[in-house]
Structure 1
Amino acid sequence: MRTDEPAGGTRPLDRPLPDVAGLEAEAAEVLPAHVLGYFRGPTGAYGIPTEAERWSQVRFRPHVLRNTRDLSLATTVLGTPVASPVLVAPMAQQRAAHPDGEVATAKAVSRRGTLLGVSTNTGVPFADIAAVGAPWWFQVYVMDDRTITTDVVQRAAAAGASALILTVDAPGTDPSQPQHEPRTWSERYGMQANLRDDTGRNLVTATRSLSLDDIGWLSGLIGLPVVVKGVLRADDAVMCVDAGAAGVIVSTHGGRCLTQSTTSADALPEVASAVGDRAEVYVDSGLRTPEHVAAALCLGARAVFLGRPVLWALATGGDARVERLLSGFDTQLERVLHSLGAASLDELGPDLVA
């Protein structure tokens, strides 16, 4: 597996980025087949290709003759200043892409001045991630044994997590799909590094008994704001905010859960309109280019979470390649905003897209 050098030494780390398709092809050369299959997820008629295609169908209506010389990508997310609206999504099994896992990702995130999501299913101890100094939010799967959830949430908060991401669109696993044996993955990649249990159970399987009350329950555990991930409807978004959510993430879980759901690109405008300024709205799933990011911001997202492209970069060059990827997104996003006639993120809105 490649760590900080390209496979065969033939592809320099400073190749033009973002080149997500190229990164994925490189990752396919160095990742074990079972890891590559897990990262790619569903490969049927629906999934990330459909999501990305839908983002690419958004068309812009740019302004001209606007002064954009002092353009800035800076914004805040739940009060945390970030240099860019491109955040890194919580993704499981990052140590399967690179031995340093989220520590490497956090180093790149810190250098770029953005924010990291950390999965319940991580193989890296919270303390190691926190030591890097990047701001991070903890993604929570509420488990049937809620004492385990309580424990891990409290320890994430103690380690410096500044918000909780409650994932609500993954109620258990699909019994028709082959599942990796949990103990094998745990032993190889330490996937339950922050969960206290010695029984070999798959602790990260989400409970099927979630309700709106769990938003308040989670927030009440340690007083951190809760962002609900997996919202695709305006009415659900409003109910989440009414129940105390500080934000929602429009997400199809990377196309992993419901293979014929609407896309994030289609769901985002109605969710953003319904929520208004009562909470912050974010989006993930299928974002592959800076134009996709700009489209999401125009359609109502405050920021986006980048997922699989980060995994491909991590697998093919560690933190240096992830940093290069994020830098490429920022540089090209600036180009897009100049082309749209927008000098700041505040100037992006639905009038700029068709």
Structure 2
Amino acid sequence: MSKTKKNRANSKQYKFFHDILSIDMLQVIAFSLMLTIFIYGVSLVFINSYIGDLLYKRGFTQYIVVLMASSVIVFTLLKFIKISSEWEKLSKNLIPEHINFENPNSYELANLQKNLNQNKSFIAIRCSRVLASFINGENRTAVAEFISDDSSFYTAASASSYVLPRILIWAIPIMGFVGTVVGISSAVNGFTSFLGRAEEIEQIKEGIGFVTSGLAVAFDTTLLALLLSVLIMLPLVAVERFESRLLLAVDIYLNDHLLLKLKNKIQNPVEQLTTNSGQNFIEEVIKIEEANIQLIEQIELTTKGLENKLVTIKNLQQSLNNDSKFLGSSSQLDRILERVSDNLEQLEPVLKELSLPRRLILVEEKNNIQ
């Protein structure tokens, strides 16, 4: 819904700017046709001179170039008249000194805003829009932002209104070059045709004259186009700067004569208490949230420490298990050694007996043979 309202407000702004500072193009076309006819009517006096040749005897492109230049001239004049009128209105004091701006809901302020809105001038409408924003409950900061947004919009609209004249200034030299191509083409074709049938000197002279007239068309069309484009471009740039200065002066007027008088809206005690309570509640919620975040961070750090200690305990337990296994194998080896020792003790008497010296006696025995 708010987006729709904003689009409607922008369309109203554009319509207002079109009515105040923009130029009606149908009006420009009508006046430019009249100016073109006037120029060619006046130039009939000089028809036998170089000016007459330049306008009447150099092809169709000359008429188009003069019409385009006339359109830019008419646009520039109408713009200058409107901007000059707005400068005069800017010098008037539109904001009375006795108006009290402390109460946005006062009848005086509403009546002033209504009267300014009915005054069909650029500065009055801008002041009316600023007061409407202030009456609708905006504070000084919001009103200052509103003035800045309005200024950006009108600056962009002003720049876009000069698009068509700039296009015409760009197209005029192009038409001159088109005339140059037409003239050179005509000269070359004439030169080729008269060479084929040139038999006498008089015919050659006529052919050369035809060629030179074609070259004259080529150069004169470019000359007129470049000359007119320069002559109309300088006033157009001057008027554009004149309008930019007007927009800047309006912004300065709004800041110095209107924005400084606006006061921030004073709340009643109940609204102020409600606002303060809400702000305090929000601050307390933010503090609690920050404390919860810190507590969660501490819990995470403690959890990581416990996990590290648990890993250490597991490693220690594994080491103890390895040591117990090693100790179990050591006790088994001790038992084996004890058994070996017992067996050695049992073998010791036998070994001692075997170690004593012995004497062998050989006895010869006869066998009785039967």
Q: TM-score, normalised by structure 1?
A: 0.17
Instruction: Indicate the structure with greater helix content.
Output: 2
Larger Rg: 2
User: Relative contact order (C-alpha < 8 Å, sep 6+): which is higher?
Assistant: 1
Identify the structure with the greater strand proportion: 1
